[in-house]
Amino acid sequence: MDYGDITTRGLVLLGCGKMGGAMLEGWLSNGLEPSAVHVIDPMPSDWLRAQGVEINGDLPVDPAVVLLAVKPQMMTQALPQVAHLGNRSTVFLSIAAGTTIASMETALGAHSPIIRAMPNTPAAVGQGITALIGNAHVSESRLALAETLLSAVGQTVRLEDEGQMDAVTAVSGSGPAYVFHLIEALAAAGETEGLSPGLAMQLAKATVAGAGALAMQAEDEPTQLRINVTSPAGTTKAALRVLMNEADGFPALLTRAVKAAADRSRELGQ
């Protein structure tokens, strides 16, 4: 990967939990020199200590990027550690859910280049998707650099405006939990039909994972893939009559669920 001026100016990673750690692992495995990374973390793991990066030391005077990877509730006390780097050319890239660009501009300086991003938990296995948007001080080249960093853990998409972040949170940010619950429910239904718990769960996990992989790799859209596996008078058709019911099937249920998550995201951002 082309890490641009990060190799000379450095990158500061504020917080190195699961998401920050997954990103760091991706960068290092894709050629970023450990000496370019400066981590601020109050409780560095043994894994982090073994990576050869600078931990809790002096920060670069003018780093290319500061990645804000702390939990949202920790942002208030964490941001002062890097606030002195604001209002210059350093780009602040935040992956803290619910933390608006306006609130970061207040803490870091109104002229600071700030990018807000929303990854999701499959990033931990390199299968995430991250939506991002920058403020008026972020150039095209800086957005491209942020995409390079975020692509270490999966796909990236750009948003047209920050208001879309609530919908992103509801679809892809919270979405993995919906899929995990689908696995739980599918396995439980299999048990009801006579399968052992272990076998039902194995079948449910493999089916969801395989269908997701097929949806990503196939040229056909999911609608056509569904049609392909549905015989006119077969078992899948019988199940889909229930799942696609307009009153209480998947479409109605997921619409309500996503709306509830998006509404909550808007509340948290106020």
- pLDDT value of position 2: 87
Say if residue 248's pLDDT is above 90: yes
pLDDT of residue 76: 87
Q: Are 18 and 48 in contact (CB under 8 A)?
A: no
Q: What is the pLDDT of residues 32-52, one digit of tens each?
A: 999 999 999 999 999 999 999
Mean of the pLDDT values across residues 188-195?
98
CA dist 10 and 29 (Å) reads: 17
Q: Name the amino acid, one letter, at 225.
A: L
Q: At 24, is the pLDDT very low, low, confident or very high (cuts 50, 70, 90)?
A: very high
pLDDT of residue 97: 85
Q: Which residues contact 228 (CB under 8 A, 6 or more apart)?
A: 220
Helix, strand and coil in the chain, % to nearest 5: 55, 15, 30
At residue 156, φ and ψ (nearest 5 deg) are -130, 150
Please tell me the predicted confidence (pLDDT) of residue 267.
Answer: 86
Whole-number pLDDT of residue 134: 98
Q: Which of 193, 225, 229, 203 is nearest to 212 (CA)?
A: 225
Q: Is the pLDDT score of 124 beyond 90?
A: no
Task: Give yes or no for residue 5 having a pLDDT over 90.
Answer: yes
Q: What is the pLDDT of residue 73?
A: 85
pLDDT of residue 65: 98
Q: Is residue 2 classed exposed, middle or buried when 0-12, 13-18 and 19+ CB atoms within 10 A define those classes? A: exposed
Total residue length of the chain: 270
Q: Which of 92, 56, 98 lies closest to 74 in space, CA to CA?
A: 98
Radius of gyration of the chain (CA): 21
Three-state DSSP state, 177: helix
At 62-75, the pLDDT tens digits run: 999 999 999 888 88
Distance CA 84, CA 11 (A): 15
Residues 100-110 have a mean pLDDT of 94
| Cβ-contact 138, 92 below 8 angstroms | no
* pLDDT confidence band for 1 (50 / 70 / 90): confident
- Spatial contact of 40 and 15, defined as CB atoms under 8 Å apart: yes
Residue 245 pLDDT level (bands cut at 50, 70, 90): very high
- Provide CB contacts within 8 A for 196, sequence distance 6+: none
**Over 80: is that where the pLDDT of 269 sits?**
no
Give the residue-averaged pLDDT of 89-116: 95
Q: Which domains does the chain have, with CATH numbers?
A: 6-162 (3.40.50.720), 175-268 (1.10.3730.10)
Contact between 236 and 136 under an 8 Å Cβ cutoff? The reply is: no
- Average pLDDT value for residue range 129-133: 98
Quick: pLDDT tens for 195-224: 999 999 999 999 999 999 999 999 999 999
**Average pLDDT, whole number, for the chain?**
95
How far is residue 111's CA from residue 118's CA, in Å, rounded to a whole number?
A: 22
Q: Please state the rounded mean pLDDT for residues 155-177.
A: 96
Distance between CA atoms of 235 and 174, rounded to whole angstroms? 31
- Which helix (H) or strand (E) segment holds residue 23: the answer is helix 18-29
Global pTM reads 0.90
Q: What is the pLDDT of residues 216-244, one digit of tens each?
A: 999 999 999 999 999 999 999 999 999 99
